[in-house]
Amino acid sequence: MKTYTGKRSWFLTSLDIFGFTNMPNFFQTSWKNKLLKVIFNRILFTGALCVMSLEVVCTFIYSIHDVAEFLQKLLESTAILMYLTESWLCKFRQREFINLFDLQERVFTVSDQKLYNKYLWKEKMELKTVIFMNVLTICGLILETLMPVSERTFYLMTSIYHKKHPERRLPFQIWTPNCIDSSDKGPYVGFYLLEIYALVIVVVAIFNVTVLQIFIPTPLVAQYKMFAKFVQKIGMEHRDRFGENIFYTNVSTGEYLTETELLNYWLKNTKLEHVRADIYGATKRNSILQCTFWKKNKYQIFYVKKIIVRHQELNNFMNQYHQLMNSLHCLTVIPFFIVLVLSFYQFAYLKHLPWFYSMKILIEFLFIVGGMWHITTQSEMLNHCNEMIEKAVYNSQWYKGSPKLKHNALLILRNARTPKYFRFLSGLAELKYSFMLAVFKTAFSFLNFMKINGQL
């Protein structure tokens, strides 16, 4: 049995461990794969799913009697539902993600090591930030259960949730039958451990969804930026750092031949060793003339064709990534906007809440806004890839070439003018900074309207 070995898609294995997906042959032995499927995919994952369901039920049965508590729990439940839904969509389209990462390993190359290292560092920093934020989320929810009981917490635990021991709090308040009090010592320990596992599953879902928006677009932008340098050389004379004429053979890696190397390569392909001695000199001179003619008249066409092929490779990869991300956003964009509106609406109750609850609401708001800013930035970055290519074509000397070169350059320009923003709601909306600004303006206008009418 061949073990699954994914390099760029290593983070997807955490979804398999916690029951979201079934990686093909995750372990080398079949009994380990079966044990993983039984323990995680069927038992622990089902238990965690029950905890999340009971938390939602508790929100609409108990938390609804206090407006501020209900809004906060509704926000948390909707956010959890959103990330779990996106993770389940990753499960159903798992093979496409794996194929996309395999394609990334084949298509992505390095022609500028310094630029590549810059974006690799950026990718690592974004990954570390995501890990830090996820660990902070777990620690914050656990720390909340260890904080001293405030008057409001005592009121919520006794009057709203009907707990006998308000000092024993869980990370999530879940619904239990009347005969079971989750604050009793025995049930409390069991529910606490189960909720910690459920919390880890939610964090894993958030981590994987976020990393999908780091591991693909960040290096993709680096590929376009390296490629734009070659596009800018269309119609120009190519020289290396020593000033010698060079002729590119591969624009994806930056490989080239010097004038001497090109001539030797041309003569080698002519196979002069098989030519009769009496015509050897004439054949060699003819080959040199053909090589000189190719350099002056046909190299630029050859170079532009290499540019077009590379551009098609990168565009094909970007289109596949767009299709996957747009399909994920279709089902999660509405819950995300609900979470965003709830986070704004909670600000109206900050003056009535203790400082700890106010800080929690503020942190949740920053997390949500940070998530929206991150995905919007990624969308802008992908669209900027086309803008880089378009600008590179304008800055090149394509207008000095032959009519065929000009035609090919215009093909590159036309392909680069297609917007590459993330789209949702069947393409009705594009995720960009102007849209994000409009959402915030609408939310603040709604809050001001409610205050003017005395509703807040």
Cα separation of 202 and 84, whole Å? 7
Domain map (residue ranges) of the chain = 216-257+298-456
Mean of the pLDDT values across residues 142-151? 80
Is pLDDT above 50 for 280?
no
Burial 100-118 (b: 16+ CB within 10 A, else e): bbebbeeebbebeeeebee
Q: Which tens digit of pLDDT belongs to each residue from 100-123?
A: 888 888 888 888 888 888 888 988
Q: Which tens digit of pLDDT belongs to each residue from 391-408?
A: 998 888 888 878 888 888
pLDDT of residue 14: 59
pLDDT of residue 76: 80
Cα separation of 63 and 57, whole Å? 9
pLDDT of residue 127: 82
Cα separation of 71 and 63, whole Å? 9
Token couple for 273? 């060793």
Confidence of residue 436 (pLDDT cuts 50, 70, 90): confident
φ, ψ of residue 44 in degrees (nearest 5): -70, -40
Cα separation of 402 and 404, whole Å? 5
Mean of the pLDDT values across residues 192-220? 79
Mean of the pLDDT values across residues 31-53? 67
pLDDT cut 90: percent of the chain above it? 1
φ, ψ of residue 352 in degrees (nearest 5): -100, 0
Token couple for 297? 């008249």
Closest CA to 336 of 207, 421, 424, 420: 424
Regarding predicted confidence, which is higher, 336 or 413? Answer: 413
Token couple for 219? 């290096």
Is pLDDT above 70 for 278?
no
Which range among 63-77, 136-150, 259-273, 365-379 shows the weakest confidence by mean pLDDT? 259-273
Cα separation of 70 and 377, whole Å? 32
pLDDT of residue 224: 92
pLDDT of residue 42: 63
pLDDT of residue 299: 81
Is pLDDT above 80 for 330?
no
**Burial (0-12, 13-18, 19+ Cβ within 10 Å), 97:** buried
Mean of the pLDDT values across residues 342-364? 74
Place of tokens 């038992």: 43
Token couple for 330? 């279709």
Mean of the pLDDT values across residues 165-187? 80
Amino acid at 149: V
SS (H, E, C) the chain: CCCCCCCCCHHHHHHHHCCCCCCCCCCCCHHHHHHHHHHHHHHHHHHHHHHHHHHHHHHHHCHHHCHHHHHHHHHHHHHHHHHHHHHHHHHHCHHHHHHHHHHHHHHCCCCCHHHHHHHHHHHHHHHHHHHHHHHHHHHHHHHHHHCCCCHHHHHHHHHHCCCCCCCCCCCCCCCCCCCCCCCCHHHHHHHHHHHHHHHHHHHHHHHHHHHHHHHCHHHHHHHHHHHHHHHCCCCCCCECCCCCEEEEEECCCCEEEEHHHHHHHHHHHHCHHHCCCCCHHHHHHHHHHHHHHHHHHHHHHHHHHHHHHHHHHHHHHHHHHHHHHHHHHHHHHHHHHHHHHHHHHHHHHHHHCCHHHHHHHHHHHHHHHHHHHHHHHHHHHHHHHHHHHHHHHHHCCHHHCCHHHHHHHHHHHHHHCCCCCEEECCCCEEECHHHHHHHHHHHHHHHHHHHHCCCC
pLDDT of residue 167: 82
Which range among 117-121, 219-223, 369-373, 410-414 shows the weakest confidence by mean pLDDT? 369-373
Token couple for 456? 């807040």
Is pLDDT above 50 for 238?
yes
Is pLDDT above 60 for 137?
yes
Regarding predicted confidence, which is higher, 246 or 86? Answer: 246
Confidence of residue 32 (pLDDT cuts 50, 70, 90): low
Place of tokens 């000199």: 281
Is pLDDT above 80 for 455?
no
Closest CA to 261 of 234, 235, 237, 295: 295
pLDDT of residue 116: 87
pLDDT of residue 45: 64
pLDDT, the chain, mean: 77
Mean of the pLDDT values across residues 299-322? 88
pLDDT of residue 410: 85
Cα separation of 312 and 71, whole Å? 48
